[in-house]
Amino acid sequence: MNARFIVSLVAAILLLTLQNATATTIHVPDDHATIQGGINAAAAGDTVVVACGTYYEHDIIMRSGVCLTSETGQPDCVTIDALRLGRVFYYKEVEGPELRGFTITGGGFPSIGGGIMCLASTSAVFRNCRVHGNEMGAVFCQGCSFLRFVDCSFYDNDHGVSCSSCLWCTFQDCTFEGNQDGGMTFGSGVVTLERCTFRGNSGESGAGLHCGGSSDLSLIDCLFVGNEALEYGGGICCEDDAHMDFTRCTIAGNSAGIEGGGICVATISGQPYLTLDACIIAFSGQGEGVSCFSYTPPQMTCCDIYGNDGGDWVGWIADQYGVNGNFAADPLFCGALNPDRPYTLHEDSPCVFPEAGLCGERIGAFGVGCGPFSPVLQTSWGAIKSLYQ
């Protein structure tokens, strides 16, 4: 074994041992009465553990390198309620803090980002948190370097998550549900969403997800269901210079008052660009599956567009029907046959092992969840809505 490698390995082990030896665990309320007091007493590498209960604090300022966790790491353990006296958490120019296992509520006027606000080159991780019942938005991010949200839910806020001018944000296994004025809005920067659900959000346009500016978004295995827009894009609205790539997503039972029950691609300024691969867009209650007001229509491969009230393969995407693996057929969602996972597919679904060889093993966010096939009532907008009520 190379001597230089051995020296490097020993040095790394010693450094890790030293860091572990100097790290401190601070307990709230045993060591400090408040969460802010525990954070203030911590240094980078320290952990602040909060005992289960409800804490009435607001404008909590995070520090670099500090891990703040509830006693169990689960959001039902600790609730932080700002009582509408300000936002709950504030991050600015901090690197590497982690927040784990909290319910964040009661943030609001006069502070934008009622639940969490992140600014100015902040890099942070959020795990297993519930952000609900906040005014002025669940999360507001601007100018951040890197943000990662894992197993977080944002629900029943007056606005969901807003991000702009961030270098990179990633959301994994997160849920955006029942938010007014949209589940998520994204401006310039890069964002990745994996296995996320947008359910029952409302807003003017892009009720589930709205993107604009020079944003670059990738969505993989995501579900959009029951989102309702007053104007355009019940599930998603893409405009300006936004670029969006959807892979294996299911967009079902959404509606828009004017156009684009599932997706709307609109040009206000700039040139949006959208690609969809192996996606299901079905059963829009009002509006087409996909509506386009752009000189560059969405590019679609292996997509099933079916049963949308305003039409399926119509308008700017009509010439893509029947080519590149695109088709129109009932996706055969499991529905009541799998109430815990209603948007999984019957084993007889045309979206399972589709005929076109370029389409892989499945289309949509989920695989087989029920079977063998038995006669069921034809899916309708009312049936779709009942699945998430």
The single residue listed with the structure tokens 């952990």 is: 47
Instruction: Give the rounded percent of residues in the chain with a pLDDT score beyond 70.
Output: 88
pLDDT (0 to 100) of residue 162: 94
pLDDT (0 to 100) of residue 262: 97
Q: Taking 90 as the threshold, does the pLDDT of residue 103 lie above it?
A: yes
pLDDT (0 to 100) of residue 205: 94
Half-sphere exposure (Cβ direction) of 222: Cα atoms closer than 13 Å: 26
Do 385 and 226 touch, CB atoms closer than 8 A? yes
CA distance 304 to 325: 9
Distances (CA, A) of 291 to 47, 203, 235: 49, 17, 11
At 188, the pLDDT band (50, 70, 90 cuts) reads confident
At 213, the pLDDT band (50, 70, 90 cuts) reads confident
Q: Taking 70 as the threshold, does the pLDDT of residue 19 lie above it?
A: no
Give the residue-averaged pLDDT of 100-116: 92
Q: Taking 70 as the threshold, does the pLDDT of residue 385 lie above it?
A: no
At 298, the pLDDT band (50, 70, 90 cuts) reads confident
Do 179 and 160 touch, CB atoms closer than 8 A? yes
pLDDT (0 to 100) of residue 5: 41
User: Cα 156 vs. chain centroid, distance in angstroms?
Assistant: 14
Q: Taking 90 as the threshold, does the pLDDT of residue 56 lie above it?
A: yes
Give the residue-averaged pLDDT of 339-359: 92
Contacts of 119 (CB under 8 A, 6+ apart): 91, 92, 93, 141, 142, 143, 144
At 357, the pLDDT band (50, 70, 90 cuts) reads confident
Q: Taking 60 as the threshold, does the pLDDT of residue 12 lie above it?
A: no
Which residues are registered as beta bridge partners of 220? 194, 247
pLDDT (0 to 100) of residue 295: 66
Mean pLDDT for all residues in the chain: 89
- Give the tens place of pLDDT for each residue, 240-292: 888 899 999 999 999 999 999 999 988 755 577 889 999 999 999 999 999 98
Dihedral sign (CA 156, 55, 196, 341): negative
Give the residue-averaged pLDDT of 11-20: 46
Give the residue-averaged pLDDT of 193-208: 97
Give the residue-averaged pLDDT of 145-173: 95
- Domain ranges (residues) in the chain: 24-149+156-168
- Length of the chain as a residue count: 389
Give the residue-averaged pLDDT of 315-326: 94
Tell me the whole-structure pTM to 2 decimals: 0.89
Q: Taking 60 as the threshold, does the pLDDT of residue 331 lie above it?
A: yes
Q: Taking 70 as the threshold, does the pLDDT of residue 73 lie above it?
A: yes
